Structure 1
Amino acid sequence: MLLAMINRSKYSGKGSRVALVRAMRALRGKVHFMLQEGRLAVPPGLDALPAMLDRFIVPVPYDEAGHSGKSWHPKVCIARYRPADPGLIKQGEPPYHWRLWLGSRNFTKDDSWDLALFLSSAVKGGSTVPGVREVTSRLAHKAAQSAAWAPLLDELDGVTWDVPRGVEIKGIKLHLQPDDSRRLPALPASPKSVLAVAPFLDVTSLKKLAESTGNADRSLVSIRPSLEDVARTTSKTLETFTNLYELAPVDEDALDIEDADSPGHDQDPEARGLHAKFLWARYEKTDVLYLGSPNLTARGWERNAEIHAHLEIKRGSPAATALAEGFEAFRQRCHRVEPGSLSKGPKPKTSEDVLEDMRKQLAATLALKQKFRADKAVLVVTHTPVVLKHGARMKIGRMSDARIPWPQAASEVILPVVEIEKESELLHIELTLQGNSLHWLQSAPFEGGLPDARDDALATSYLGLSGLLDLFADELELHGLPEVDREPWDHLPSEKDRQRGKSRMLGFSVESVLAAWRRAGKAGPEVIQRATKVLDLAAAYDGASTADRAAVRQLKSLLKSWSAVQSALGGSQA
């Protein structure tokens, strides 16, 4: 997502090491990802993931454990941005655009069935959408960014949105705390048909839905384990639905980082799991659609942090026709379920279930803190001793290091001394029980925070001298240089890779820099300032090897010429 925000993401979702560093440097302080603590999955290739990821993560430590547990579960993104080419903005048009997305999709590459509402700000005309300001304000407050977003909220008040003809968005709501007003939406009386879709269900919510929709033709789409959970409680609830359907379940922590041409992306739609959550009711003159993140459970509609949108669509409009055709095509992909085929036997609790319960409790209660000792080792402390039951064991470590055991009943461990670029406020947790294991990244802020020098050292170590020079050339262009997108961000280059790379060094001249400065227009001084900072990092690089001889020669040439560039642009502060 960071790569996409600077227009450098490839079709596969990947990008280069240079582009990722540029994205992280450009977007720090501007982009925040709010995630349920304990739900940041550990991907393959973690060693290649820059530790600077911690600058963008805002963990929410809701306690997911137990029957009264709750989760941070909204799936929403709101963005204010400048078009990639400011020259395309016509006179009188706003310099910034807005986009709003909400639905059921996680921040992963999982391609399960999902449903989302996507809105772009209108240049002219457009419709108001009730609730946008309140949702944005509450998200900013939860991310501790209220001061930064305060002036933007006033701007947001004047924004209208491109909404399809025939569609009225009655409102969007972000629920953060349990209160008496939170409940499953009450649909208007006497619908002709209702399609309810959610991977997780409970009896109470299904009863409320059936009671409020009278004699409507009701269809329910879920996953078999959830349907069987309801059947174990009472089969009569499922009998109130005319049709039952199932799709495959989805791992909520699924993190697919395969290339776009991998077999997983070519699978039949029927093989994809179910992750969508929506209610669609049809009436004589209008259709009503509720979509968002809540499942058909009391937990989803009454306790979790969730977001949803309420839409009304005029029957006969192109939007109503498209939705009806799309939902019918989706339903035909599902598999019909006969209530009698559902298992009603007791569901045994497995060691995997026990391990998952322990993960939820640990993630919410660890409250890790880090502190540098005098010898530069790091003390990791939790406010209560870690006591694990059933013979479970926990290990902890940095993102790029081996994990060490956390002793039973201990409240602290010491991580060994490493280079500053390897330090992070995200630590790798491994929890094991009876041969099963779970891995995740847990927040662990440093006392006083990590210095900016960590980020500079990380860029230097991650890119090497040749990569820094590529980044220098990339920073000179507003939209970057395709020529520097050589190595994927999750590829650790070998010495042989670096030897091959030296023959592809980018050319440089004072004239080329001046031309880039002119192309940047008003952003020219900012471009030169960013490039200068990168060149300073390259000048301080002390890890050059024989593979870097060409890069060293180019760096020396750059340093000799750079003063001439700054002089031509009116001084070093140009």
Structure 2
Amino acid sequence: MKDTSRHWPAISFLECLRPGPDESVDLALLASYSADLGTMGATLLALARKATDSGRGSPSDFAEAVERLRGKVRLVIQRGRLATMRKTPRIASVLDQFVREVSFDEAVQSWHPKVALVRLRNSHGTTSWRLWLGSRNLTECANRDLGLLLVSGDKRGDRIPGVDDLARDLASRASLKGARPATLASAIAKVTWVAPPGVSVERIHWSGGSGRQTIPIPTESTTEIIVVSPFVDVTFLALQAKKGARNVSRTLLTTMSEIERVGPEMGMFDELLALDAPNYPAAFQRGEPNIESFEDASSPPNDEEEADLGSGLHAKLLFMRTGRERRLWMGSANATMRAWTGRNAEVVAELLIKESVENGLKALLGAARVTTAPELIHAPDDSEQEAKALEKARAQVAARWGATLHQEGERTLLTHHVVGHPQGPHPDAPDILLEVGSLHGELLTWPREQVVVDLGSMEAADRSEFVRLQVRRGDRRLSWLQRAPADPPFGEDRDRTAFVRFLGSRGFFLWLGGLLADDGREGEGDWAADGTNGELAPAPNVGADIELPTLEEMLTAWARDPARFGDIDRRISRYLPAILEQVRHEEPLAAETLRSFEDLWRKIRHGLSVATTEGKHQ
């Protein structure tokens, strides 16, 4: 049996985000290289304290999470790195409002930070902060990732240089009305942070892609160097493995695919270790393997950007021991010049650590297998070359993207308008086809030199700024999602229409019952379970299927928290008329029950309003 006592403590990313029992999210800015809609939904559920231990939630939980967090949460990702799902729930269309994309050309640089900055507020109005940074993307794949969670402390902790730079740039990219970059940076600069035991945070290094970062280099006094990264390049490794003190120990932990790619030059390290290479979801059709993204055709392959990784090594860190000092850099940066010089957008925490934390690093190394540098560099086969060509095409389409959506009657039109690429975002290779479609529609061939594509008609509930893209050569295809802003925006009316169809009358009352009880009960079903239409079928007779809220339950909810009762009233005002309209012809008995409830609720809110006003004098 393995001794796990030395390993770093494990906590899920979603648990790091979940507010405490008396807290709610006031603002959440997240960044990731890649993401998928399922994990985005799980993240919203966690931020709303609606996620189960497994990260799932019911349709009513998902609806409440979106309602609570609208205008408060934003995820910033690299354009072209939003993964498709095998079965996309129709309700996922509403997730577009939480996403913004960075248009970096991946032939040159990538948006690569993994970070979450969350402001919480308790029932007394007191605010607190959480900052998570690490190596994990917002995808469903499980990897060996590493993260650091910092929490604000009233009179404890220390101010950390660099956090304000992170907050400023992240807020600028997020473009949320409630998060002005300068104001947020100023507030964050004053926060004192509490680090985990055995860790002292020297600085947060934020690179927004300007290329002005200094690479840590061992000195002649350095006696131990450890590099852990799933992607590497020779130039960066040579800087870390250069000759210093006579007794210096140099260790590299990476994947066998990188070791084979780099070849004999891996021999510059005294100890070469390998863990499993990351696995990838089916971004390629017909089960073809995915690869890392294109970097630069004029340089040796150095595919450090790890689209949607599966099981395998994904942690990134650099450790140096100099005398009694143990210094650790950890975060999003792979062991490449592109990551560490600041050409990419990256976030890295520079830490001084104690022996207990170092023991966790040594435990990670102990889980790897010892290997040796190969005598030859791996030569990519035809299948790998073909996959790389499609990845290059994806990067070109993403970099040249400038499309918007607008409605002409029932038709949805996609219009491309970019000065540098006026004929469309198509890849350079003439034999690679570009296809496009709405989130739930059919893929259509996008002819070159055509700037307007008719995506067809779609129900209002299905409208989304997410569009599907695919590049294809022969029977090889690579698919992903991208955002095309709607003009005018779809707004809350789209959300209401989508949730009315999604929940039905029965789902709506399950939602309402949970809000009134406020007891943390789990709803029925899984919001992402139905890949066809994602909706709960309304019960034939809502009154016979579930119990409607009683007068006692309504009054108890008001007495417990009048402000929250007002939130419930707003939900009812927004959704009940639309629910009634939906069931009026389809479920006469349900419609009658709903009208009775509507009449009762109207009387209660009127009576409570009078009682509240007069109660001040009683």
TM over 0.5: yes
- Does 1:96 find its partner at 2:127? yes
Instruction: Indicate conservation of the 8 Å contact 1:228/1:342, yes or no.
Output: no
TM superposition shift of 1:560? 1.8
Deviation at 1:487, TM superposition (A): 4.1
* 1:278 correspondence with 2:311: no
In structure 1, what is the equivalent of residue 59 of structure 2?
17
Report the TM-score when normalising by structure 2: 0.80
**Which residue of the partner structure matches residue 455 of structure 1?**
495
In the superposition, relative to structure 1, how do residues 240 and 500 fare at CA in structure 2: closer, same or farther (>3 Å)? farther
RMSD: 2.7
- Other-structure match for 1:139: 170
In structure 1, how many angstroms separate the alpha carbons of the residues matched to 2:121 and 2:204?
25
Shift of 1:495: 8.4
1:16–1:485: 8 Å Cα contact kept in structure 2?
yes
8 Å contact kept, 1:351–1:434:
no
User: How far off is 1:99 after superposition?
Assistant: 0.6
Matched, 1:536 2:577: yes
Are 1:471 and 2:511 an aligned pair? yes
Are the aligned partners of 2:114 and 2:332 in contact in 1 as well (CA < 8 Å)? yes
Could you say which residue in structure 2 is the equivalent of 1:347? 380
2:137 maps to which residue? Answer: 106
Select the residue among 203, 214, 225 that pairs with 1:183: 214
Tell me, yes or no, if structure 1 residue 419 matches structure 2 residue 451.
no
Change (3 A) 1:152 1:525: farther
Q: Aligned partners of 2:244, 2:491: CA distance in 1, in Å?
A: 58
Of the candidates 561, 568, 579, which is equivalent to residue 520 of structure 1?
A: 561
Structure 1 residues 492-503: aligned runs within 5 Å: 492=533, 498=539
Aligned partner of 1:37 among 79, 82, 99: 79
Tell me the TM-score normalized by structure 1.
Answer: 0.86
The residue that corresponds to 1:160 in the other structure is 192
Q: Report how far residue 408 of structure 1 moved.
A: 3.5
Q: CA deviation at 1:137?
A: 1.3
Distance in 1 (CA, whole Å) between partners of 2:405 and 2:272 is 51
Partner secondary structure for residue 138 of structure 1? helix
**Within 5 Å, which residues of 2 pair with 1:358-373?**
358-373=393-408
Q: Give the aligned partner of residue 256 of structure 2.
A: 224
Q: Classify 1:51/1:342 alpha carbon distance in 2 versus 1 (closer, same or farther; 3 Å).
A: farther
Q: What is the Cα deviation at residue 188 of structure 1?
A: 5.0
Q: Is the 8 A contact 2:167 2:188 kept in 1?
A: no
Superposed counterparts of 1:47-62, under 5 Å: 47-62=89-104
Offset from partner CA, 1:524-548 (integer Å, 9 cap, x none): 3333333332323323335763xx5
| Corresponding position of 2:356 | 322
Give distance in 2, aligned partners of 1:309 and 1:122: 19
User: CA–CA distance in 1 between the matches of 2:368 and 2:69?
Assistant: 41
Kindly indicate whether the alpha-carbon contact (under 8 Å) linking 1:48 and 1:490 is maintained by their aligned counterparts in 2. no
CA 1:241–1:488: 2 relative to 1, 3 Å: same
Following TM superposition, by how much is the alpha carbon of 1:452 offset from its aligned partner in structure 2, in angstroms?
A: 2.5
Q: Is it true that 1:391 corresponds to 2:431 in the alignment?
A: yes
Inter-partner Cα distance in structure 1 for 2:335 and 2:534: 47
Within the alignment, does 1:206 sit opposite 2:237 as a pair?
yes
Give 1:266's aligned residue. Answer: none
Offset at residue 342 of structure 1 (A): 5.3
| 1:125 match | 156
Q: 1:408 to 1:543 in 2, by over 3 A?
A: farther
Residue aligned with 2:277, SS: coil
- Give how far 1:272 is off: 3.7
SS in 2 for 1:561: helix
Q: 2:88 aligns with which of 46, 58, 63?
A: 46
Indicate yes or no: 2:373 matched with 1:334. no
Q: Which of 121, 124, 130 matches 1:82?
A: 121
**Pairing 1:552-571 to 2, within 5 Å after superposition:** 552-570=591-609
CA distance in 2, matches of 1:331, 1:461: 51
Q: Deviations over 1:48-101 (max 9, x none)?
A: 342111100011111113xxx111000000001135xx3xx7xxxx71221100
Matched, 1:380 2:414: yes
1:301 aligned onto 2:337: no
User: Quick one: which amino acid aligns to residue 60 of structure 2?
Assistant: V
Amino acid at match of 1:409: E
Aligned to 1:260: none
1:470-504: CA deviation from partner (whole Å, max 9, x where unpaired): 2333333556543x333443325788784698754
- Cα separation, 2, equivalents of 1:390 and 1:516: 63
Letter in 1 for 2:239: K
Aligned to 1:238: 266
CA contact (8 A) 2:414 2:452 kept: yes
In structure 1, distance between residues paired with 2:197 and 2:434: 55
Deviation string 1:407-457 (CA, Å, 9 cap, x unpaired) is 233222112122211111110112222212111111111122223311111
Shift of residue 462, structure 1, vs aligned partner: 1.5
Deviation for aligned residue 1:292:
0.8
Whole-Å separation in 1 of the counterparts to 2:177 and 2:492: 23
- Partner deviation per Cα, 1:4-30 (whole Å, 9 max, x = no partner): 011111122211111111111211110
Structure 2: distance between partners of 1:505 and 1:456: 23
Evaluate the alpha carbon distance shift between residue 45 and residue 218 of structure 1 in structure 2; reply closer, same or farther with a 3 A threshold.
same
Query: Identity rate of aligned residues, in percent?
Result: 28
- For 1:38 and 1:221, the matched residues in 2 are separated by 29
